[in-house]
Amino acid sequence: MSEPQQSQFIESESQSTQSDITQLQDDLCRDISQLFEDADDYNVIIQVGSGSDFGEFKAHSVILRARCPYFKTALSDKWVEKIENIYYFSKPNISPAVFSLILRYIYTGALDLTDQSGYNALALLIASDELLIEQIVKHVQVHFIRKKSNWLKKNLPMVLSTISKLQSCKMMQDYIMTTIDLPIGSESTIHVLLVIADKLALIQLIDRIQKLLIKNEPSWLKKDLIGFLCKIFNDNKYKKIKYYIMDTIFRDVILRPRNGLISIDSSIIKGKHARIIIRWIEGINALTEKSFAEFTCIYRATDCKFEYQKFIKVLDSISSTSSSSKVLFIKVKNSDKIIGGYIGSHNFRDIFLPKERRNKDFILCLGSEKDSNFHICCNVRCPHTQRFIINEPWINFYSEGAHLKLYGQKGTCSVLNDRNFIAEEIEIFCINR
Shared-domain flag, residues 16 and 44: no
pLDDT of residue 418: 85
18: alpha, beta or left? (left if phi > 0; alpha if psi -120 to 50)? alpha
pLDDT of residue 22: 44
Query: Helix axis angle, 3-37 relative to 96-108, nearest 10°?
Result: 150
**What is the spatial distance between Cα 105 and Cα 139, in angstroms, rounded to a whole number?**
11
Shared-domain flag, residues 70 and 20: no
**What is the spatial distance between Cα 237 and Cα 407, in angstroms, rounded to a whole number?**
48
Domain that holds residue 7: 1-29
**What is the spatial distance between Cα 171 and Cα 139, in angstroms, rounded to a whole number?**
11
Shared-domain flag, residues 295 and 400: yes
Contact call for residues 304 and 354 (beta carbons, < 8 A):
no
Shared-domain flag, residues 408 and 333: yes
DSSP labels for 90-123? EETTS-HHHHHHHHHHHHH-----TT--HHHHHH
Contact call for residues 289 and 257 (beta carbons, < 8 A):
yes
Shared-domain flag, residues 12 and 62: no
First to last CA, the chain: 99
Nearest residue to 105 via CA among 21, 32, 53: 32
What DSSP state is assigned to residue 433?
-
Q: What is the pTM of this model?
A: 0.48
- Residue 222 within any structural domain of the chain: no
**What is the spatial distance between Cα 4 and Cα 8, in angstroms, rounded to a whole number?**
6
How are strands ordered across the β-sheet holding 81-83? 53-59, 44-50, 86-91, 81-83
pLDDT of residue 350: 37
**Number of domain units in the chain:** 3
Residue 45: give its domain's CATH number: 3.30.710.10
- Residue 247 within any structural domain of the chain: no
- Residue 318 within any structural domain of the chain: yes
Shared-domain flag, residues 46 and 79: yes
- Residue 378 within any structural domain of the chain: yes
With vertex at residue 236, the alpha carbon angle to CA 194 and CA 290, rounded to the nearest 5 degrees, is: 110
Tens of pLDDT along the chain (433 residues)?
Answer: 555 555 554 555 555 544 444 444 455 566 666 666 666 788 899 999 999 999 999 998 888 998 998 998 888 777 777 888 889 989 999 999 999 999 999 988 889 999 999 999 999 999 999 999 999 999 999 999 999 988 998 888 888 888 888 889 989 988 887 777 776 665 566 666 776 666 666 667 767 776 666 566 555 555 555 555 555 555 554 555 555 455 444 444 444 444 456 667 788 988 888 888 888 887 766 555 556 677 888 889 998 888 877 887 777 766 555 556 889 999 999 998 999 999 876 544 434 444 444 447 899 999 876 567 888 888 877 655 445 566 778 888 888 888 999 998 999 999 888 889 999 999 998 887 7
As to burial, measured by CB atoms within 10 angstroms (0-12 exposed, 13-18 middle, 19+ buried), residue 222 is: middle
